Structure formats: C-alpha cells, structure tokens
Structure 1
C-alpha cells in the first residue's frame, strides 16, 4: 500500500494543520500496515510491505504525534521503527532521545536524557544525530552558550553541514550578533546555492543589521539585502518572504538613497563595494513589483484560490499589513 502524498511531507512549525491531520491519521495508518494473517517463511516475503515510503511515513507520523501531544501514538510508531532498524541505529537513537525529551516531566528527567546522550557520545563521538539532539536539548534548557559552543565544534569536523550552519545562524541572530549570523548563512549558501529560502533569510538579517548602521555602511548593506531578496524570488517565483524582503529593503533603500551623496559614474564605488548603488528609478521599479506581487499573493491566498492555499497565515497577514502601511504613507 503506497503512502498518501501528505504522509511523506514532514510536519513543520509553519503548517500546524498538516501536523494535526497527520497525527489524527496515526491509528488508521498503523492498522493499514498490519496483516490479518501471516504466511510461513519464505512465503511471508511475498506479502512484505517494505518500502522507504512506509518508514518515512512512520517517522513523520511519530513527529506529528509528539507535536500534538499524542504520546501514545508516537510511542507505537517509535516501536515499529525500532523493531525494523534496531536500537543501535543512529537515527533510531536520536528519535528515542527526542521522545524522552518530549515526554519529560521535570528538569531532572531532562538531565537524565542529557546523561544518556553523553554516554553514547563517550562511546562514539561520531554519532552526529545524537550530537545534534544534545545541542537542541541544551538550547531548550536555556543553555544557549553551551549549545553554540557545541555547534561550532560540530562544524569544525563537518563544515558542509548546512543544517548546523543555519541553526548556528539562528542562535547568533537571537543574541543580536548580526555579523556572525550573516557569515553562517553565507556558509549555508556555499553548500546550497539555490536555496531560495536561505537567500531570503540572509536578506532579512542584512536588513536588520542595516538598522544599526549609518552612511555608506548602511547603504551597502541595504543594497545587498535587496539583491538577496531578488535572488530568492528569481529562484522561486511566488515566494512570499522573498517579495516581503524586497518590499522592505527597497522602501528603506529609497530613503537612504534620497539622503546619500550621489556617487560618481563608475563600475565600482568605495562606499557600495564592487558594484555601484542602483539608481533610484531601478529601486522604485523593484518596489512596485514587490508591492504588486504581494498584493496578488494576499488576494489569492485570502480567497482560498486553488494553487494559492499553501501560504502561512501569519505571513499573509504580515504582508497585508505591510501593503496597507505603504498605502497610508503614499496618501499622506
């Protein structure tokens, strides 16, 4: 039995409806995988439902059940995965640790999970799934400095781990360390140059860092923020966050260019870097494009139009507020 397409999509924070739907179908899916009769070996091989989709589905349902608090169903999924792959499998050990973290009732129990991770890593420090779970646990326990230190150590031995670079960037961003966050996102893009969401995220972080700058540094950073947003929507036509970032960066850039000293005509500029700042006319056109596209996304997503229903509600709301705010400025 092939798994429905929705089962193969892992649950995420940005789509709680999908997560809830997955967890609600846990019992039905588990029942569908159980055979009412068992053939003797080797005939039993003929009825084997082994497939990558099956176990990916079990893992996704397990994660969804943990998110929704259905710990009993999560445990049953975990047992199925453990029976298939064994308790010494690295991924299974990480999932078992995740289950224990999610069901822990006290700080003492969380410390117990931490000790288990330490024991595993003491025996084999190369179990990266456990190293990552330990970092996540440190972060959830409020020990951000230790988590960041462990992430840096992990990246020393695995410098092409895009997921770890992205997580370290988020941690730096939470601490207000924009320069370090930008560096980490640039490392992500070295590994995944076509990740449009990371281009948009880098544009957002650059925009935030520009708010604490003045003069030429601010202008240069805003220009780079705009370019990252442009690259994001170049890679993904209808990416809301890319257009949102483009709208923000171009609006602020127009203000900065208006008060900036006009540079001499040249292919490079000591203030803006290797590329001269874009013309005001170009920035205005990009701002208009971003406004038009955001308006279209908000209109179509809000009306539930087919093919436009996958957007995060909070992001659509934020885009609508940004458009309204921009319209109010024009009216004044």
Structure 2
C-alpha cells in the first residue's frame, strides 16, 4: 500500500515532468518501486526516453527494465503495437527468458485471446510451478472474463502454495464478500489475523462478517 507521503512525492514528480522540469526516469523508477499503475504517463515518458538515442544509451542495463515497464503500460493502454515492439526487442536480447515469455502471455490477454493465453501460462507453470506472477495473472484473467468461480479456484490453489501472501487472502475475501459467502470470507480474515494481528481493519471486518 502506498503511503500518503509516497503518493505526494509521486504526484509532485509527475507534475514536474509534465511541466518540462525533467525527471522522467526518476518518475518511472518511483512508479516501479511503489508498484502503482499510471500507465498513460509511463507510456508517454517511457517513449520519450526510448525514442531519444542519447537518453536511452544513458540508461545502461536499465534500458531493458524500461522496455518491460513500457510493454506492460502499453498493454494497459491498448497500444498493442508498442507493446509488441518492446517485447520483440526483449526477445532479441533475452531469447530464452521466461520473464519475457510472461509478457507474450500478457499480450495474448490484452488481445482477448484467452484460450491461447491460458495455454501459454500453463506451459510456463510446467517449467516453474512456483512462479507467483503467472499464478496471479491467471486469477486476473479469470476475473477479466467474469469467470469468478475459476478465479476463486485459482486463488485457493495459489494460497495453498503461498500462504503468507496477505494481498491474495484479501483479494479472495473481497470476492467472497461480493458473493455474500460470509463464512468463506471470515476464514480468509482469520488467516490474515494470524499473520497480521495488529491491523485494526482486519479485526473490524472479521467481526462484521462473523455475525452472518
């Protein structure tokens, strides 16, 4: 979760870049660090750097990080040609990379090729069953299709492996609450309370759902 101070810092830097004060790369780094999605800005600032040979070469190895960040932002914005070009560059640099392979799957998602994306994700999971990103992408894909029962199934399977992921427990609890499955939601909050007993929100929500 992004703190108020971090959000203020990000907004200040964004305004600075928008007003021509520089700092585009610093902004992109902060977006990655805070794990927030400001895809339109990332797309705009990222392209401004990559399209400038001098700025791009100054990045050194971080150039490839930017290509990945830009590919994801482009998919969010449905600029699929840009995403495809970024992924192509990354494949050329890292031909055997599973990480780049995940981007291929995400591009299939962005195109709405759900069956192909699922097949590709399953193939990657065969090589690395502990890839958290792929597990979460499958959940997101099921939710995007409105297939909530499958999303629940994937989340439960994910949590069998990664029981300490409190974000996933909260996500599962929210789904159960949206379906008025209070007993199941209460179980999720019990798990959250075991690992985070000092978070007041978890106690309050657990008390609310436990009465049903």
**Count of aligned positions:** 187
Q: Does 1:97 align with 2:76?
A: no
Task: Determine the structure 1 residue equivalent to 2:158.
Answer: 154
CA distance in 2, matches of 1:32, 1:189: 50
**TM-aligned CA distance change 1:5 to 1:68, over 3 Å:** same
Counterpart of 2:68 in structure 1 is 59
Deviation at 1:102, TM superposition (A): 0.6
- Give the unaligned 5+ runs of structure 1: 38-46, 214-332
User: Could you say what the CA RMSD is over the residues aligned between the two structures, in angstroms?
Assistant: 3.5
Residue 29 and residue 110 in structure 1: after superposition, are their counterparts in 2 closer, same or farther (change >3 A)? Answer: same
Can you list the C-alpha shifts for 1:113-170, whole angstroms capped at 9, x where unaligned?
2122233334543333322222222222222222212221221122122332232223
Q: Counterpart in 2 of 1:118?
A: 122
State the partner residue of 1:130.
134
Distance in 1 separating the partners of 2:154 and 2:71: 27
3-state DSSP of counterpart to 2:130: coil
TM score, norm. by length of structure 2:
0.67
Q: In structure 2, what is the equivalent of residue 6 of structure 1? A: 27
Map 1:211-230 → 2, pairs under 5 A: none
- The structure with the largest helix share of the pair is 2
- 1:63 CA displacement: 2.4
Q: TM-score, normalised by structure 1?
A: 0.46
Asked if 1 retains the 8 angstrom alpha-carbon contact of 2:71 and 2:87, the reply is yes
**Distance change (3 Å), C-alpha of 1:167 and 1:181:** same
Which residue of structure 1 lines up, in the alignment, with residue 77 of structure 2?
Answer: 68
Trace 1:1-332 onto structure 2 (pairs within 5 A).
Answer: 4-8=25-29, 9-10=31-32, 12=36, 18-32=38-52, 49-51=60-62, 54-89=63-98, 91-104=99-112, 109-185=113-189, 187-188=191-192, 200=201, 202=202, 205-206=205-206, 209=209
- Larger radius of gyration between Structure 1 and Structure 2: 1
* Whole-Å separation in 2 of the counterparts to 1:36 and 1:64: 18
> What secondary structure does 1:176 align onto?
coil
- Aligned counterparts of 1:191 and 1:26: Cα–Cα separation in 2: 38
Q: Return the offset for 1:101.
A: 0.3
Q: 1:186: Cα distance to partner?
A: 5.1
Deviation at 1:23, TM superposition (A): 1.6
The equivalent residue for 1:325 is: none
Equivalent residue, structure 2, for 1:320:
none
Inter-CA distance 48–124: structure 2 relative to 1 (3 Å threshold):
closer
Q: Any conservation in 1 of the 2:108–2:116 contact (CA below 8 Å)?
A: no
Q: How far, CA to CA, are the matches of 2:102 and 2:178 in structure 1?
A: 26
Structure 1 residues 25 and 123, CA gap change in structure 2 (3 angstroms): closer
Structure 2 stretches of 5 or more lacking a match?
1-22
CA contact (8 A) 2:102 2:121 kept: no
1:42-76 CA distances to partner (integer Å, 9 max, x unpaired)? xxxxx88114xx44443333222222222222223
- Secondary structure of 2:180 counterpart: coil
Residue equivalent to 1:311? none
